[in-house]
């Protein structure tokens, strides 16, 4: 694939940026995106459809004082870009004022992901064959499997960012994803299993990982749950398996450390830098440079190089995550967290790969030291109210812990807690760090790919939302 | 979408232009091919105000095409976010290539005109088309002031005005030709309420075909109330209890119930209610209708996602399961007819199946009267995490919640950070009262106060 900077010469981009500031704005930015996607879905034993698509366009952002104007267009001719820039300038309503000519730097690239096999170089029939393989593998696990659906998806997203501060940067983000959902039917009704894998690499993902293994894992999850008891109800210790749910931290504190929410006083972590906000066992990092991970990016969607940011060190809050606007307001540097779903969206502060680093405990000891509680082997999604810190997350595969041993599987349900309280209540942290499943984080209606990870850990008290006494 | 089928007569030029593009794509069908073209275009405005100033002003235009080709029982689809002539050819070629790769499905096929007349609806408002930008900004600023004035403990996190103007056209080789346009606007406010170290959040909104239909006073007042009523809330004890769902919560519950009545899921063995037609699945007071032709519904529409007429379907009648909703594909497999419930989640892919505008036939009691009959219970005003705690295949239901305790027939202290749990099957059977306070919310279901007994509350 050709780098986008070779398709748009810097003189053209400079003229577009000038047009953005023609009404006196102090900042203009052009974000160009060309994204090609292929997906294929299997359900009920059939490859129901193969879909491919392309979205290509530019978003122009103009900032005048505290006001941002934004317009986007699918017309990437110079005329189309300049019209969009004028619309954005009018939207920002700066009024009057002169302009300073923009001088762009030479293009910058900061590749953090290495792609060996571009998805476009692989016949679609190979991708479809993966689906059939997953279907066969899942159905072979047990006679109770009544339904299997599987999905393959890849995308190649080329982006270019130029702004009136002289930044000119580009990146190519290649992602490959596979997911399997299984339904098993038994005496107590139907149960589901779900597994997925996704990385910011090309088709080589499937050389190192067998979709059959993934399908078998999903099928076993569903079959195991057929004998699940109702989940308990009330507050109790909860042990969370390594790599099963960094979503806990994503919700319990990740969102609350986004500088846009902090600036509006909509975070329980506002004004708390330098304070103890978690158990001293906890060191939390957001790292866009983790090669090949689902949330890895070379540059963010504002042209800033991705970086590794330590947010909580030994329980003490060290920093928030920043985008261009919030960093400018606070007169500090960006942290590579300005992201957007597509060229049609404004960037905002977003996570990349968010994880908790290893502790010292043997994961087996964590279970042995728990008299009665819940062991969560797989977490589902979650959500948080950042202003109150109240968050929920779902357990999709979980077991009772009785007398220091993992015993019966339990049915699905939500866990609920309050971020700062739960962070303080982490009393054991394992030494078995693993990354979790690929995720899509939603904020203000925009979804972006994010990764998460953690070692096995115990929260000494969390409310389990089941129905059993 | 307001419709003309086929597009002609009073159809605006812009929609006719989309119809022409769809027709041209379909005209390229080769012998043995079925082709569906879906063409759309939209304009949106989004204005966000913070502390009396414009935080951002977004002016967006989008367009695109989705093509579905079926040949020898194999389906391929493709899409592009542009209507450039060169892109259209690429989309058609890609869809054709993709159709070589699918499995043979004997039921694969496009919708065919079914003779069900389109119920005309007023989905386009000229006043919104000509509404001045300055006044849109003023509306958002006014809403911020109303929320702030409602209670001195309240701050505003953000306030927005947005509107959307959308046009679409369908054409198929099987003879569907329909299209139309639709617009609407929305104002919303997110609030924070502080008391000492404690902060709680709320929101309010108002929707309309044009801003003249907004009730900004109600939106601002509710946003302030939602945030302040939770100040001082505590975590309740765990126990089994009776819950009263606020209309806003009921609408979300009905959306989940609607997903279990998806005909495609039923055929594929994924619905809780497969093989249960004409059996009792709910309390006898439950009559659940999907009616996108009811113009009071926010999602009222005249066409489904395959261009067929949207229609009224009774799904559950006095507790008995009467019908699943279907697209033309799921209907063909089930040996029945489309109920006009094809849904489209964007340009790409084949249409899915879903309810369009659910409503529960209301009772007569006010929420206060329902509460008066309860000695011990909880009024659930907000839920959190339905997507992570509800499994519509197993039926497990568990959600984070906040609201007010009910004691001796009256609401008492606020509670938060707890869950309510049961199963979808039990909850439908355990409905003991339905209020008369129907609320046409901006969702695919309307709301009404709903009383459900024997739900587990998990807290301290």
Token pair listed for B245 = 């769902």
CA distance A155 to A333: 31
A67-73 and B53-71: which strand pairing? parallel
Q: How far apart are the first and last CA of chain B?
A: 49
pTM of the model: 0.94
Confidence tier at A101 by pLDDT (50, 70, 90): low
Q: Where in chain B is the domain with CATH 3.30.2290.10?
A: 13-226
pLDDT for position B83: 92
| Tokens 């062991």 sit on residue | A375
- Give chain A's mean pLDDT: 94
Q: How far apart are the first and last CA of chain A?
A: 59
pLDDT for position A108: 77
Return the CATH number of the domain spanning residue range B13-226: 3.30.2290.10
Yes or no, beta carbons of B101 and A51 under 8 Å apart: no
Yes or no, beta carbons of B101 and A47 under 8 Å apart: yes
By percentage, how much of chain A surpasses pLDDT 70? 97
List the single range of A157-171, A242-256, A287-301, B394-408 with lowest mean pLDDT.
A242-256
What number is the ipTM of this complex? 0.92
- What is the b/e burial string over A181-198, where b = at least 16 CB atoms within 10 angstroms of the residue's CB? bbbbbbeebbbbbbbbbb
CA distance B443 to B255: 9
How far is A221 from chain B, CA to nearest CA, in Å?
13
CA distance A131 to B185: 42
B418 part of contact set with chain A, CB < 8 Å: yes
Select from B60, B201, B423 the Cβ nearest to the Cβ of A344. B60
CA distance A185 to A191: 6
More confidently predicted of B349 and A55: A55
Yes or no, beta carbons of A387 and B349 under 8 Å apart: no
Q: Which of residues 172-191 of A touch B (CB under 8 A)?
A: 183, 185, 189-191
How far is B224 from chain A, CA to nearest CA, in Å?
15
- What is the b/e burial string over A375-405, where b = at least 16 CB atoms within 10 angstroms of the residue's CB? bbbbbbbbbbbbbbbbbbbbbbbbbbbeeee
Yes or no, beta carbons of A56 and B422 under 8 Å apart: no
Helices marked H in B132-272: 133-150, 216-228, 247-260, 263-267
Chain B residue closest in CA terms to A53: B79
Give the C-alpha distances (Å, rounded to integers) separating A338 from A29, A167, A324, A334, B58.
Answer: 13, 14, 7, 8, 18
Mean pLDDT along residues A431-456: 95
Please check the confidence at residue A98 and state whether its pLDDT lies above 80. no
Q: Residue B196: left (phi > 0), alpha (psi -120 to 50), or beta? A: left
pLDDT for position B2: 40
Domains of chain A: which residue ranges? 233-465
Taking alpha carbons only, the member of A106, A180, A199, A217 closest to residue A439 is A199
Mapped onto helix, strand or coil, the DSSP state of residue B428 is helix
Yes or no, beta carbons of B77 and A394 under 8 Å apart: no
The mean pLDDT values, 10 residues at a time, for chain B of 460 residues are: 42 92 97 96 94 92 94 96 91 96 94 94 94 95 98 96 96 94 96 93 95 97 96 96 98 97 96 95 98 95 94 98 98 97 88 97 98 98 92 95 97 96 97 97 96 97
A144 part of contact set with chain B, CB < 8 Å: no
Q: Are A40 and A124 in contact (CB under 8 A)?
A: yes
Chain A residue closest in CA terms to B63: A74
Yes or no, beta carbons of A231 and B398 under 8 Å apart: yes
């Amino acid at each position: 694939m050709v780098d986008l900077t070779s398709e748009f010469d810097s003189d053209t981009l400079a003229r577009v940026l000038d047009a953005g500031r023609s009404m006196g704005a102090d900042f203009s930015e052009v974000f160009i995106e060309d994204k090609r996607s292929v997906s294929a879905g299997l359900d009920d034993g059939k490859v129901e459809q193969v879909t491919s698509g392309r979205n290509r366009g530019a978003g122009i952002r103009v900032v005048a004082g505290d006001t941002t104007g934004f317009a986007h267009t699918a017309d990437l001719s110079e005329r189309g870009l300049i019209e969009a820039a004028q619309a954005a300038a009018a939207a920002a309503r700066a009024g009057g004022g002169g302009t300073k000519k923009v001088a762009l730097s030479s293009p910058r690239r900061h590749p953090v992901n290495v792609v060996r096999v571009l998805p476009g170089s692989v016949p679609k029939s190979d991708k479809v064959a993966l689906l059939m393989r997953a279907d066969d593998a899942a159905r072979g696990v047990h006679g109770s499997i009544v339904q299997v659906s599987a999905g393959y998806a890849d995308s190649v997203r080329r982006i270019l960012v130029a702004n009136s501060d002289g930044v000119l940067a580009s990146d190519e983000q290649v992602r490959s994803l596979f997911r399997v959902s299984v339904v098993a039917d038994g005496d107590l009704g139907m149960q589901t299993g779900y597994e997925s894998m996704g990385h910011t690499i090309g088709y080589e993902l499937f050389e190192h990982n067998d979709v059959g293994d993934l399908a078998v894992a999903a099928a076993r999850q569903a079959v195991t749950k057929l004998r699940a008891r109702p989940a308990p109800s009330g507050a109790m210790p909860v042990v969370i398996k390594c790599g099963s749910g960094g979503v806990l931290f994503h919700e319990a504190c990740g969102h609350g450390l986004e500088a846009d929410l902090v600036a509006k006083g909509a975070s329980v972590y506002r004004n708390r830098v330098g304070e103890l906000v978690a158990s001293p066992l906890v060191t939390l990092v957001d790292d866009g440079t983790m090669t090949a991970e689902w949330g890895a990016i070379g540059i963010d969607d504002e042209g800033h190089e991705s970086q590794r940011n330590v947010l909580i060190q030994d329980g003490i809050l060290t920093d928030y995550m920043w985008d261009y606007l919030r960093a400018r307001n606070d007169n500090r540097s960006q942290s590579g967290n300005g992201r957007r779903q597509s060229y049609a969206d404004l960037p905002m502060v977003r996570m990349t790969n968010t994880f908790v680093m290893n502790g010292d405990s043997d994961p087996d000891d964590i279970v042995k030291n728990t008299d009665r509680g819940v062991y969560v082997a797989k977490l589902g999604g979650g959500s948080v109210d950042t202003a109150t810190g109240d968050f929920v997350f779902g357990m999709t595969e979980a077991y009772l812990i009785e007398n220091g041993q993992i015993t019966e599987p339990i049915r699905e349900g939500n866990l609920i807690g309050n971020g700062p309280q739960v962070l303080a209540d982490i009393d054991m942290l394992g030494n078995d760090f693993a990354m979790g499943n690929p995720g899509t984080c939603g904020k203000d209606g925009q979804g972006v790919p994010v990764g998460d990870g953690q070692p096995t850990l115990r929260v000494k008290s969390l409310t389990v939302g089941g129905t059993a006494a | 979408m307001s419709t003309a089928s086929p597009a002609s007569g009073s159809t605006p030029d812009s929609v006719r232009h989309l119809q022409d593009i769809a027709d041209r794509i379909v005209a390229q069908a080769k012998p043995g091919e079925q082709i569906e073209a879906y063409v759309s275009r939209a304009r949106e405005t989004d204005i966000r105000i913070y502390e009396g100033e414009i935080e951002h002003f977004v002016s967006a235009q989008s367009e695109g095409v989705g093509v579905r080709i079926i040949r020898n029982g194999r389906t391929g689809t493709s899409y592009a976010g542009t209507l450039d002539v060169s892109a259209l050819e690429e989309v058609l070629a890609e869809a054709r290539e993709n159709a070589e790769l699918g499995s043979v499905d004997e039921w694969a096929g496009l919708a065919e005109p079914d003779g069900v007349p389109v119920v005309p609806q007023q989905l386009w408002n000229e006043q919104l088309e000509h509404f001045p930008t300055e006044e849109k900004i003023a509306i958002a600023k006014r809403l911020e002031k109303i929320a702030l004035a409602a209670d001195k403990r309240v701050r505003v996190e953000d306030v927005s005005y947005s509107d959307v103007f959308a046009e679409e056209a369908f054409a198929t080789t099987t003879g569907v030709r329909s299209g139309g346009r639709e617009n609407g606007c929305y104002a919303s406010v997110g609030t924070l309420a502080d008391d000492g170290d404690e902060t709680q959040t709320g929101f309010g909104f108002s929707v309309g075909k044009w801003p003249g239909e907004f009730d900004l006073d109600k939106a601002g007042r509710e946003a302030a109330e939602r945030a302040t009523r939770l100040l001082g809330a505590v975590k309740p004890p765990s126990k089994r209890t009776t819950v009263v769902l606020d209309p806003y919560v009921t609408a979300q519950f009905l959306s989940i119930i609607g997903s279990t009545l998806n005909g495609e899921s039923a055929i594929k063995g994924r619905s809780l209610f497969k093989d249960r037609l004409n059996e009792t699945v709910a309390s006898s007071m439950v009559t659940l209708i999907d009616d996108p032709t009811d113009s009071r519904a926010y999602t009222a529409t005249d066409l489904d996602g395959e261009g067929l007429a949207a229609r009224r379907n009774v799904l559950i009648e006095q507790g008995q399961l009467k019908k699943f909703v279907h697209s033309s594909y799921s209907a063909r497999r089930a040996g029945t007819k489309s109920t006009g419930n094809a849904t489209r989640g964007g340009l790409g892919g084949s249409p899915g199946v879903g309810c369009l505008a659910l409503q529960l036939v209301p009772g007569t009691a006010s929420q206060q009267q329902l509460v008066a009959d309860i000695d011990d219970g909880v009024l659930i005003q907000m839920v959190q995490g339905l997507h992570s705690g509800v499994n519509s295949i197993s039926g497990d239901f568990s959600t984070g919640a906040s609201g007010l305790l009910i004691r001796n027939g009256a609401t008492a202290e606020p509670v938060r950070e707890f869950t309510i749990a049961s199963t979808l099957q039990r909850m439908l059977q355990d409905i003991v009262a339905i209020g008369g306070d129907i609320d046409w919310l901006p969702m695919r279901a309307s709301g009404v106060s709903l009383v459900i007994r024997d739900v587990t509350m998990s807290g301290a």
